[in-house]
Amino acid sequence: MKHPITTLLLSTSLATSLAGMAAANDLRDMAREYFEPLPSTIPSVKDNPITPEKIDLGKALFFDPRLSASGVFSCYSCHNLTTGGDDNLETSIGHGWQKGPRNSPTVLNAVLNEAQFWDGRAEDLKAQAKGPIQAGVEMANTPETVIETLNSMPQYGEWFTAAFPEESAPVTFDNMAKALEAYQATLITPAPFDAFLNGNDDALSAEAQEGLQLFVDKGCVACHSGVNVGGHGYYPFGLIEKPGAEVLPPDDKGRFAVTETVDDEYVFRASPLRNVSVTAPYFHSGKVWDLKVAVQIMAESQLGEELSDAEADSLVAFLDSLTGTLPEVTVPVLPAETATTPRPTAEIIR
Amino acid sequence: MKHPITTLLLSTSLATSLAGMAAANDLRDMAREYFEPLPSTIPSVKDNPITPEKIDLGKALFFDPRLSASGVFSCYSCHNLTTGGDDNLETSIGHGWQKGPRNSPTVLNAVLNEAQFWDGRAEDLKAQAKGPIQAGVEMANTPETVIETLNSMPQYGEWFTAAFPEESAPVTFDNMAKALEAYQATLITPAPFDAFLNGNDDALSAEAQEGLQLFVDKGCVACHSGVNVGGHGYYPFGLIEKPGAEVLPPDDKGRFAVTETVDDEYVFRASPLRNVSVTAPYFHSGKVWDLKVAVQIMAESQLGEELSDAEADSLVAFLDSLTGTLPEVTVPVLPAETATTPRPTAEIIR
């Protein structure tokens, strides 16, 4: 015979659970109006059919330090796959120990951003890829030297031919960039938030669900929405109230440098928030290391909201649910230099 | 009915083949007096039982740039597994864009060397591991900051506990070094030469077999023998004839700095030659990029031999057969920094 109190407890627990499920369903329905789970297959990209051969080539290039003038830096150096796809520095350190102007964004899921760089000046990853390789403070190389380097190693020639079988002279700077884009398209990191969007109530803790509700109610979602929870749309940093000069240095006017339109002063692309918990420090200036502080700064500067401590904690719990799982990445084995490979130079010539 | 010429050809071919096999067997018997194939299991090391947990921890540490003061360099930076376990530079570039004094040796099979560093000043890899982390021109960190960094990330605490289950406070600089040694013990690269030593005649081309014979006959084997084809024993660079000052800079007196014995001036540990074809540039000075030239310099300076072009080519063909297969290495996912993680600093303070 069942004890009456046990029966009562079971019923209460069942009722709570059913109510929880209904609430989770409502929250999910609302969330799906603003967000989209990651795709289960490699996203396609514009003007660049993705093939296994192109991915393999792109992976080799991504890891190859010989794309830099010094031989010290590869794409992986500042987009380190062990640490969230970025470099955990305020701004990257590059050729000649120079500091870059802005924080290195994560490469993870970057293929799903509407445009690349903090100011969206590159349309896509194949346009973006050419930037750091040539930037004097980053890899400090030239397209000519990159092509000479790649042509000096016969294995690269074979890989380019396999990746671009229809071309008679496939080793080009453009194709290098396309292969890099193809590889990066594989760096998709499904997270608990995706599992929640896909129907798993238990994927988000109660606090993370509260945070998600707040994220929508407070208006964060106005800029940070879509599959990457941001990564599309341009907004002034300091819409309501400009943050301090340390966080928003006056001499970096953001998208103004791209469009030369006064309205674009201090305008940046809304940051994609996937893996934000593992990609400190924050903002283009990289001056804030604590995610909760970053959330509070955003609330004040963009929404004019002073968050309670509990609200900020819930929002952080939601953001934590955006930390995804890196696909298994095996270190590629690269071809050795030959007699015709340009030698690395540590000199600062520009 | 068989055509008589075919029969004749077959017999001749069979006879040649049998003669070839006999020659290969003789060569193998001789080679096995001087060399040893790589073991098929992870080598054991002194005072450091290797466990899967220790290997996993060591791998995380090996890839973690936060072991350096700047957050820019990990062990992997100068011992890059994509490019033969070294960095393809004359001498490594480290903290503050400073150049290290000697060429970065490969980490591959390093566990099998009798001692570590060009001058053998570290008894083993756990002693070696502590050097670059603290060297001002390399990672420029301190044991205290390393331990603070590791303790700031709870995941590392768990990994250290799993790797050193018998210790109550396992996060120590010594244990970090032991874990790094355990991981590096897995970086063993079986090569065609091993297959030949193990009985496969076809693993070495005829030219490589000639090179092997020359390697023994000319006397290279006097210093470069054993499982790592070198990596044990100390010899003066320039035994017969000192190479030029570019290759042997007068201010680097090698093992003299370790032993302070005049006899050890310009004495270095005989280089292990596994993967030598993919780890240019050569010598402690890193001044020679062409393996054939390096072989010729060695023959002149150590043996007083002027090699013919064909001899040098054969020796290079043999050395090519020492290029091994890297075990599959999956990029580890490292824990994120926390509020107590020491912040990276690019400053040169020493």
What are the pLDDT tens digits along chain B (350 aa)? Answer: 445 555 555 566 666 777 777 888 999 999 999 999 999 999 999 999 999 999 999 999 999 999 999 999 999 999 999 999 999 999 999 999 999 999 999 999 999 999 999 999 999 999 999 999 999 999 999 999 999 999 999 999 999 999 999 999 999 999 999 999 999 999 999 999 999 999 999 999 999 999 999 999 999 999 999 999 999 999 999 889 889 889 999 999 999 899 999 999 999 999 999 999 999 999 999 999 999 999 999 999 999 999 999 999 999 999 999 999 999 999 999 999 999 999 999 998 75
Q: Any known ligand binding at A232?
A: no
What's the complex ipTM? 0.93
Tell me which H or E stretch contains B126.
helix B125-128
Asked, colleague to colleague, whether A28-40+189-322 and A52-185 share their fold, the answer is yes
CB contact under 8 A, B336 and A83: yes
pLDDT (0 to 100) of residue A3: 53
Residue B322 tokens, joined: 């020492």
Nearest Cα neighbor of B55 from B189, B173, B179 is B179
B136 close to A (CB below 8 A): no
Of B88, B275, B277, B349, which to mutate for an interface test with A (greatest number of A Cβ within 10 Å)? B88
Q: Does domain B52-185 have CATH number 3.50.50.60?
A: no
CB contact under 8 A, B336 and A277: yes
CB contact under 8 A, B330 and A329: yes
pLDDT (0 to 100) of residue A2: 47
CB contact under 8 A, A83 and B99: no
- Alpha carbons A289 and A276: distance in angstroms, whole number: 11
pLDDT (0 to 100) of residue B57: 98
Boundaries of every domain in chain A: 28-40+189-322, 52-185
DSSP-assigned letters across all residues of B182-242: HHHTT-----HHHHHHTT-GGGS-HHHHHHHHHHHHTTGGGTS-BTTTSSSSEEETTSSSP
Q: Which of 3.90.190.20, 1.10.760.10, 3.90.1640.30, 3.30.450.40 is the CATH number of A28-40+189-322?
A: 1.10.760.10
B80 close to A (CB below 8 A): yes
User: B80: which strand partners?
Assistant: B86
CB contact under 8 A, A329 and B332: no
A336 close to B (CB below 8 A): yes
- Alpha carbons B268 and B283: distance in angstroms, whole number: 10
Active-site residue list of A: 138
Per DSSP, helices labelled H in chain A are 4-34, 52-63, 75-78, 125-128, 130-134, 143-151, 154-163, 173-184, 192-197, 206-217, 256-259, 291-303, 309-320
- Global pTM reads 0.94
Residue A338 tokens, joined: 């030959």
Of B62, B74, B81, B82, which to mutate for an interface test with A (greatest number of A Cβ within 10 Å)? B82
Q: Any known ligand binding at A78?
A: yes
A331 close to B (CB below 8 A): yes
CB contact under 8 A, B337 and A88: yes
If you measure CA to CA, which chain A residue comes closest to B276? A336
Q: Any known ligand binding at B224?
A: yes
Q: Are B85 and B107 in contact (CB under 8 A)?
A: yes
Active-site residue list of B: 138
**Residues of B numbered 310-329 whose beta carbons fall under 8 angstroms of chain A's beta carbons: which are they?**
326, 328-329
B347 close to A (CB below 8 A): no
pLDDT (0 to 100) of residue A12: 66
Q: How confident is the model at residue A1 (pLDDT cuts 50, 70, 90)?
A: very low
CB contact under 8 A, A84 and B290: no
Q: Any known ligand binding at A220?
A: yes
